[in-house]
Amino acid sequence: MSGAPSVLYDAPGPKAKVRNTVYSVVFLAALALVAWYVFAALSDKGQLTAKMWTPFTDGSTWTEYLIPGLGTTLLAAVLAIVIALPVGAVFGIARLSEHRWIRVPAGALVELFRAIPVLMLMLFSNFFYVWYTDIDSDIRPLFAVVTGLVLYNGSVLAEVFRAGIASLPKGQSEAAYALGLRKTQTMLTILLPQAVTVMLPAIVSQLVVIVKDTAIGSTILSFADLLSNYRILSANYGNTIPTLIVIGLIYVVVNWVVTKLAALLEQRMSRRGRSAARPVGPASTTAVPMADLPVADPL
């Protein structure tokens, strides 16, 4: 039911137009009431005075706190996805193995790490590094955050890879075997490249999840990321709410750009058509349409 709005209701006539206007006005009034309440509460506590916001017009706030913080956040996110991709690929392929002794343990590990909260993975990674390594305590939070993110997102991406490979037409691997390629060759040269192309939008949207999850590290491990700056800034200027709003907006803009990128990739690929040629005839039912694939959950 795409273009849903026009299907769920008739084109408004004179009466419906009046009614819709009334609803709009009532809704606007309700929003205005909430906005006024928030505004009044904020100004009552002095959060709206210019003094609270001027730190953000000062260049040093950005160059000393916000931009380095954003850099740390993005560094952790990029490291996490770069490491999680091969890990996910290995486990995704392992789950498709013909050998039970590979398939079952890989499946169990993936399911286990998908069930554990990222926060607990980060927390435990941190303790692990304290006990068994001598990583400097300055960069230990980064190690712990990236490790937690890799463990979780590696298992999520394993599922993404598995679904991507399973979505390819069976003829692809059959043709490869007919050409005399070995199983490893078939996987690495025929199936994996096509699966990556198919799953690229899902992989890019997983980046949004990773960027949001890096923020967990700032509260439990004092990881010096973008969010952690609220402590310093609000301690300096007493402007808790303006700081949280500005930091939140930076996250929203970054994630919005990444989401748009994923949508653009998806559009580009649907315009180009599937990389794997669909087999003609009855065999075409073997390929799963993209819409039916379990896509990584963006929570």
Residues at the interface with another protein (CB under 8 A) = 1-2, 4-5, 7-10, 12, 16, 20, 23-24, 27-28, 31, 41-42, 45, 47, 111-112, 115-120, 123-124, 127-128, 131, 208, 211-216, 218-220, 227, 230, 234, 240-241, 244, 247-248, 251-252, 255-256, 259, 297-299
CB of 184 to another protein, least distance (A): 32
39 or 267: CB nearest another protein: 39
What CA–CA distance (Å, rounded) separates 65 from 87?
33
67 or 196: CB nearest another protein: 67
DSSP state of 179: T
Length of the chain: 299
What CA–CA distance (Å, rounded) separates 174 from 12?
56
CB of 286 to another protein, least distance (A): 22
37 or 182: CB nearest another protein: 37
CB of 83 to another protein, least distance (A): 21
173 or 255: CB nearest another protein: 255
Contact residues for 254 (Cβ-Cβ < 8 A; gap 6+): 70, 74, 211
CB of 162 to another protein, least distance (A): 16
CB of 153 to another protein, least distance (A): 13
Count CB-CB contacts under 10 A for residue 255.
17
Could you tell me the CA-to-CA distances from 185 to 82, 92, 207 in Å, in that order? 23, 16, 29
Could you tell me the CA-to-CA distances from 26 to 8, 14, 21, 22 in Å, in that order? 22, 19, 9, 6
CB of 185 to another protein, least distance (A): 35
Going by C-alpha positions, the residue among 80, 104, 97, 102 that lies closest to residue 157 is 80
39 or 189: CB nearest another protein: 39
Unique residue bearing structure tokens 């991507």:
164
10 or 136: CB nearest another protein: 10
Q: Measured between alpha carbons, how far apart are the two ends of the chain, in Å? A: 25
